[in-house]
Chains A and B, each alone.
Chain A
């Protein structure tokens, strides 16, 4: 469960391991205490932060660790959300079961959508997923699907109560539930990256030809990664629907995909704990921006994105990681960098 430890260890090999663990533990303790101190609206927002973090983590597996692009993860989020809403509303199935179902459906959808990726340049994949994201709201509105999707009206669902007679209100319970799912998903992602599969994914990202010549089945790994990435985002979508208690086509416009991309870049491409910071960013920054003027959140997103790319033209890492590294190299023994040639 030392998800954050690993990356910090890049900057500071020995002590960071314990620092990372300590940060993680402190984080969990704070998270456990939150529902009892935070007001219910703030708690609702924090629950959504976790939801976005899971979605961004999924996108990170794809982009950060496998080098593929998606501008369309908003669509997978939508599929997950609708899966949950339809199961709960139309078939009266418990919310708990909607998560594996949403994950499975999105895994298949992502796997299928990842197939063209095998033949395409990265930029074409970005295009195909862009098209998916832009078309998603209209697909959800299609009249043949209206029986399930509720068309433009969408579907309203009910918030679940805490089980086993636990003395928690709905918001508190949902926060704990989401936190548990998030921890599980991050732990799984962390282990995936450190497994043989994860190394294969990164080998494909760094050098596809070498990966292939080492016997890595690049086609299989790329489509599987797409599937797993969509699975994460789909589960996040299902959770999001349960938390918001409502799904409608216009909740899943292209801006959602933009938000996930922003969260990825801000949190750090190829840095798993970054997704949490990405989630915080995409939830709270637009609120702050809208405070000044309506519609300003787009500009805030855009300017921050461009600044980040200028700071780190390679696109790897993210704002938080940058700060963490600076901080680490400031406090810790500076790793001796070889002086560049002049």
Chain B
């Protein structure tokens, strides 16, 4: 059985400073995998490494195909949608233009209109603001926009970088409910990076724990949640 995404001995550095010391992990088709860790553990770096946004060594396979070293634009074309740290909003463009851009890498132009409606179905607030400049949206709305933009790719795999960051608890709930729906209804696989471990473990099927660029623990999300040390360090109860 091959996983959707397989990573072996992934290494990356910023200049002289090594940020990832050889990660091994896999994402199964249709599952939500979460990468937990403190600030600076290398979570964001891992996502950036997968997308070819930083130089890396090691092996990355998507559906068995080696993609390490590919340009970001080409990785995206495989159906890997990255919801980046800071949401990556095109602030000067309208909400709808932001969403249309999400479909840039798609071959089938036909379904774009339908998908737009579907995203508006998930996030009605975006429809109400569709002609507004995206920079004027609130943080929560921009997060929804980022998720919506990723969905416009009809992705096979979504890489989500701290979707809860800076959002009010109610909004966080809403965003995560929709992520769960998307995962369930469209079988979109997800790699979720989160500092809010209990939130992430609630959604995820599998989890990896990252400490200073190394994976120190992995397993089914349920087991990780039960683990004593994880509970003390990351869940806080």
Contacts and interface: CB of A to CB of B under 8 A. Distances in A.
A and B touch in the complex (CB under 8 A): yes
Interface string A224-251: 0000000000000000000000000000
A341 interface: yes
A341 B16 CA distance: 7
B198 interface: no
A174 B132 CA distance: 70
Contacts, number: 3
Majority secondary structure, B binding face: strand
Interface string A300-342: 0000000000000000000000000000000000000000010
A296 B16 CA distance: 45
Interface residues of A, number: 1
B interface bracket (residues with beta carbon within 8 Å of A): under 10
A341 B18 CA distance: 10
Interface in B144-193: none
A341 B13 CA distance: 9
A340 to B, nearest CB: 9
Contacts of B13: 341
Nearest to B57: A342
Contacts of A341: 13, 16, 18
Contacts of B18: 341
B113 to A, nearest CB: 42
Nearest to B16: A341
Interface in A184-216: none
A341 B17 CA distance: 10
A88 to B, nearest CB: 57
Interface in B1-38: 13, 16, 18
Contacts of B16: 341
A336 to B, nearest CB: 16
Nearest to B13: A341
A275 to B, nearest CB: 33
A288 B54 CA distance: 46
B18 to A, nearest CB: 8
A341 B56 CA distance: 12
A341 B19 CA distance: 13
A341 B14 CA distance: 11
A341 B12 CA distance: 11
A59 B13 CA distance: 38
Nearest to B18: A341
A341 B11 CA distance: 12
Nearest to A340: B16
B102 to A, nearest CB: 32
B219 to A, nearest CB: 32
A75 to B, nearest CB: 37
Nearest to A342: B57
A333 B13 CA distance: 31
Nearest to A338: B16
B16 to A, nearest CB: 7
Nearest to B15: A341
B12 to A, nearest CB: 11
3 contacts: A341-B13, A341-B16, A341-B18
Interface of B: 13, 16, 18
Interface of A: 341
Q: Which 3 A-B pairs have the closest CB atoms?
A: A341-B13, A341-B16, A341-B18
